[in-house]
Amino acid sequence: MKIPFNNDWLFTKSFDDGFDTAVLVRIPHTACEIPYNYADCEAYQMLCGYKKSFTAPSEWLGKRIFIKFDGAAHDAAVFCNGVEVCRHSCGYTAFEVELTDYIEFNAENTVCVKLDTRESLNIPPFGFVIDYLCYGGIYREVSLIVKEKDIISDVFIENTGLDEITVRLETDGNVESNDIVNEIIDADGKTVSQYKGAEFTARLKNAHLWSVDDPYLYTLRTRIIRNNEITDEECRRFGFRTAKFENDGFYLNGKKLKLRGINRHQSYAYVGYAMPKSMQRFDAEILKYELGVNAVRTSHYPQSQHFIDRCDELGLLIFTEIPGWQHIGDEIWKKQAVINTEEMVKQYMHHPSIILWGVRINESQDDDALYTETNNTAHRLDRSRQTSGVRYIEKSSLLEDVYAYNDFSHSGQNNGLRKKTKVTSDKSKPYLVSECNGHMYPTKPFDDEEHRLSHALRHAKVIDAMYAENDICGIFPWCMFDYNTHRDFGSGDGTCYHGVLDMFRNPKLAASVFASQSENIPCCTVSSSMDIGEHPAGDLGNVYVFTNADYIKLYKNGVFVRDFYPSKKLYPAMPHPPVVIDDFVGTMLETQDGYSHKTAEQIKQCLKAIAKYGPSALPLKYLLKFGKLMLFKGLKYSDGVELYGKYVSNWGGEATMWRFDAVKDGEIIKSCTKKPGQKVHLEIKPSSHTLIESETYDVAEIRITALDEFNEPAVYYQEPIKIKCSDNIEIIGPDTVSFKGGSVGVYVKTKGVSGKAWIDINGEITEFNIE
């Protein structure tokens, strides 16, 4: 029996001062909420305390009682009725402790947690600087577990073949092999095979394979059955699949697949790590349905089981790793890193989405003794998965199976990635790029258009470079969204603007580079507002459309300009290169002004040159070309001025309306209209209209975007909004927030009461149903 144990905890920021002034909280909980930016990175560092009382009924006599913490950051001492029963020194893995011998039945019992959230601890990832905030608190769920005396304590599943798994059980108590019955159950709830014992290999003929496009899940149900009575039961979802990194790429179920991924932190605005199931799952859905990636790296630590579960369901592949960032500590520190490796593998190995164990401290120096131990630990526990470790060092000592390298070589003009042969010493080992871009070009949502475009094109360049190289298994650019960091890093406001989304998961322009590579997300994002005042000398230059359409049809004030196709010349390898719009005149000189095709092309060249160089600095060849047009075609100087104003500068003229139609298989899949906006309205998108009060509170995220009258982002809208809500929900963070780059976000949280709820955003009501 598993009992949610998340409500009615007392919390104090000073454990030594006791709980007299403690406040009532619900788990997940952050030790200290912080502002969106300009956060004090020491505010959440403390020796805090949590306490909860409960009554153990007489029915539990003779049974065993455990408490499980899914995540407590970072060093937790657990007490039951005043007796210390456990110490756990990793903020990123779960731990379970037995309370049976300390429980008083039919009486009040108290569980207390002394939690050290300080970054001075001698455990990973601490010991030196860290480029992300580590927060603190019991930030994942807690459960009370009541079992019989003889139990199944753990279940381990290895994918040892395409249609084969090997299962090992750990039991505690007097459990005979014949007492254990194992069933494999398909997605329809039908038992498809059955096995006896604590260790077995299951082969399922014609098994429905798990894949990125068809993530089919089975369930292993293992039971202790005596005299036809079930005395214990554990269930694990899994998938039949093989995952193998080879020298020439990654193979899923024997088929080569390029990993087009991204890095994810587990943090959120205001509350850091402390978000419930729905928000964890929502991030996976954003990765799949909005960014269109097929893989994610859980940088730089194991993440919520809720997030991994949703990746299992969606077919997202995961590279997960032990906690750490560059620093390697003393022998006590290293011992904890090995423990972390064991806990990570044992707790997550049943997930089919996980394809690679990271057994090095991210970006650390070589330490063969330590990494021999972590690598061997992973292989001893899980023979079915390969290992890797993220480094920024070329020709690094490779003890793992896959060389993972943070390639920050791209600067905007050079090659997107380095060649594998330049990075690795052992050319026979598989290779992937674990990070790129990120800090090389921080980009805020409110940066100017040129900056935001450069950010997007850098991502396009590295993705193209990955596809161009057969021996690069995949790429995990840095990173999914912006995040708070320490004062040693980030912008002046303590934020790393490295994401393709902002902290509220609103997209920047670069997000469309990722989305456009998906076959399942109709995408047509124009890089420019098409406002001449956004560009030096009013020259639009090249405009990019990030799309997965076959081509773009461009219209100016309703008149067809021409068709534009993906730029295979600039981006020859990626599935859907950006479309470069480099001609805003197109066929209009022919269709609107009656010039022949040859003459129209010559006039167009001259007009584009004037836009680029200016009339006073026009190169000689264009002066000669224009003179030839005047001499032989009767073009007058005033004609040139008129055509330039009509087709290029539009300075002082009526605002131009541009329409971009994305065409795929002969159908318009998406259309964008660009014209200087004069009216702004808000698009309010809640993650869900249904909130579920179940094991703990629920949260909905409301992403808010300012759009112009053509439903295009108003990226320079920075106005504040006032937020109000009904009494049965509460706002996380401030109730007045300002737009940042035309977007913002709000979180609302349930308070244990069901019924209808609402949030008022500048007078616009969004309703929720709390179940």
Tens of pLDDT along 111-167? 999 999 999 999 999 999 999 999 999 999 999 999 999 999 999 999 999 999 999
Pick the catalytic residue from 435, 469, 701, 712.
435
Judge contact between 456 and 507, C-beta under 8 A: no
Is 259:463 a contact under the CB 8 Å cutoff? no
d(CA 388, CA 402) in angstroms, rounded, equals 5
C-alpha closest to that of 612 among 666, 535, 546, 547: 535
From the DSSP assignment, how many helices (H) and strands (E) are in the chain? 11, 48
Return the C-alpha torsion angle 5, 10, 15, 16, nearest 10: -130
pLDDT at 665 over 80: yes
Q: What is the pLDDT of residues 74-89, one digit of tens each?
A: 999 999 999 999 999 9
User: Residues 175, 181: contact at Cβ < 8 Å?
Assistant: no
Q: What is the mean pLDDT of residues 447-470?
A: 97
Residue 616 has pLDDT above 90, yes or no: no
435 belongs to the catalytic site: yes
Tokens of residue 506, six digits: 């609103």
H/E run at residue 342: helix 331-348
Q: Is 363 a catalytic residue?
A: yes
Helix (H) / strand (E) element for 73: namely strand 72-73
Note the helical H segments in 48-187: none
What is the pLDDT, as a whole number, of residue 652? 58
SS3 per residue for 522-581: CCEEECCCCCHHHCHHHCCCCEEEEECCCEEEEEECCEEEEEECECCCCCCCCCCCCEEE
Question: DSSP string of 236-294?
Answer: EEE-B--EEEETTEEEETTEE--EE--B----BTTTBT---HHHHHHHHHHIIIII--S
Is residue 651 scored above 70 in pLDDT?
no
Phi–psi pair at 555, nearest 5 degrees: -125, 140
Query: Judging by beta carbons within 10 Å of its beta carbon (0-12, 13-18, 19+), is residue 217 exposed, middle or buried?
Result: middle
User: Which range is least confidently modeled, 61-70, 591-600, 658-667?
Assistant: 591-600
Contact 723, 758 (CB under 8 A): no
Tens digit of pLDDT for each residue in 177-187?
889 999 999 99
Terminal Cα-to-Cα distance of the chain (whole angstroms): 23
Mean pLDDT of 740-752: 96
Task: In whole angstroms, give the CA distance from residue 245 to residue 254.
Answer: 10
Radius of gyration of the chain (CA): 29
Phi, psi of 305 (to 5 degrees): -60, -30
Q: Would you say residue 767 has pLDDT above 70?
A: yes
289-293, 585-589, 642-646: which has the minimum mean pLDDT? Answer: 642-646
**pLDDT value for 653:** 63
CA distance 553 to 545: 11
Distance CA 156, CA 236 (A): 9
- Are the CB atoms for 51 and 73 separated by under 8 Å? no
pLDDT beyond 80 at 23 = yes
Torsional sign, CA 417, 418, 423, 424? positive
pLDDT single digits (tens) 243-302: 999 999 999 999 999 999 999 999 999 999 999 999 999 999 999 999 999 999 999 999
Q: What is the mean pLDDT of residues 713-722?
A: 94
Average pLDDT over residues 535-546: 87
Q: Maximum distance among all alpha carbons in the chain? A: 106
Question: What share of the chain has pLDDT > 70, as a percent?
Answer: 99
- Out of 93-102, 540-549, 581-590, least confident range: 581-590
Q: How are beta strands 764-770 and 690-691 bridged, if at all?
A: parallel
**Rounded to 5 degrees, what are φ and ψ at 69?**
-110, 120
> Sorting pLDDT into bands at 50, 70 and 90, what band is 694?
very high
Per annotation, catalytic residue among 119, 158, 343, 363 = 363
> Are the CB atoms for 318 and 311 separated by under 8 Å?
yes
Cα torsion 238, 242, 246, 251: sign: negative
pLDDT at position 596 is 87
Task: Tell me the pTM.
Answer: 0.95
**Mean pLDDT of all residues in 582-588:** 89
pLDDT tens-digit series, residues 406-444: 999 999 999 999 999 999 988 889 999 999 999 999 999
Average pLDDT (42-66) is 96
Packed helices 305-314 and 331-348: angle between N→C axes, nearest 10 degrees: 40
